[in-house]
Amino acid sequence: MTHDGVRPFLFGDVLARTIEAARECGAAVAAVPESDTVKEVTAEGIILGTVDRLRLWRVQTPQVFSYPVLREAFARALADGYVATDEAELVERNGHEVRVVPSSPWNIKVTTREDMGLAEFLLVRGLGEAGAP
């Protein structure tokens, strides 16, 4: 299992469901469906088109994999000099199915000043197991 230390609002039910999904298929990630309109844009900032958001999910952590699946993915990436943004990308690249497990939008990544402000707000409001402040 991998989990970003910068995601302090992980709920136990999300963790349990992600582990269970990985037990079933060997690889699973926590994620939330995209709710914003997403545009594909050129390097010059010109919109090429609108992406179907119904097929888009924002992947979070935890990401859970069987050891052989993850070991193979890392070995191939190392041999090829391939750099990924997360472990799931390496596993996908190896042709292994990765299951998406619905998560909480409050499982935020705290890496910027703005994120810290939101995290402080959530703590002050008492983010509970129900998943809402």
The residues with which 57 forms a beta bridge, in sequence order, are 33
User: 121 lies in a domain?
Assistant: no
Domains contained in the chain, number: 1
**pLDDT (0 to 100) of residue 125:** 85
> Residue 4: CB partners within 8 Å, gap ≥ 6?
60, 61, 109
Range of the domain at 26: 12-107
Model confidence over 1-42: pLDDT tens digits?
A: 999 999 999 999 999 999 999 999 999 999 999 999 999 999
**pLDDT (0 to 100) of residue 130:** 54
From residue 21, alpha-carbon distances to 13, 59, 74, 94 in Å are 12, 15, 21, 19
- Computed over every residue of the chain, the mean pLDDT equals 94
At which residue do the structure tokens 């008492």 appear? 126
Helices (H), 33-86: 67-80
User: 112 lies in a domain?
Assistant: no
User: 113 lies in a domain?
Assistant: no
User: 56 lies in a domain?
Assistant: yes
User: 7 lies in a domain?
Assistant: no
| CB-CB contact of 93 with 84 (8 Å) | yes
pTM score, two decimals? 0.88
User: 39 lies in a domain?
Assistant: yes
User: What HEC string does 8-48 produce?
Assistant: CCCCHHHHHHHHHHHHHHCEEEEEEECCCCEEEECCCCCEE
User: 119 lies in a domain?
Assistant: no
Q: What is the CATH number of the domain that holds 26?
A: 3.90.550.10
